[in-house]
Amino acid sequence: MTADDVITVFEQMNAEGRADYSLDDTCAGFAGWLAEAWERLPAQDIALLTAVGAVLWREGFALRQK
């Protein structure tokens, strides 16, 4: 699977209405998963995944400010 394939999955889930989760719940769930996986992930994966989490948090924060 390529990155473009994964983006297509994201787009399809959104189009089908299967991405109907709040950013707060998504961020909390992602943080919980990452906390459990932290010890077995390489540093470069942790760096990428924490950046993804930070973007989720930032976007959720921005929505709350509107």
pLDDT 10s digits, 26-41: 889 999 999 999 999 9
DSSP output for 10-54: HHHHHHTT-----HHHHHHHHHHHHHHHGGGS-HHHHHHHHHHHH
Q: Please check whether residue 32 is in contact with residue 53, taking contact to mean a CB–CB distance below 8 angstroms.
A: no
Above 90 in pLDDT, residue 23? no
Q: How confident is the model at residue 10 (pLDDT cuts 50, 70, 90)?
A: very high
pTM, entire model: 0.79
- The residue type found at 63 is L
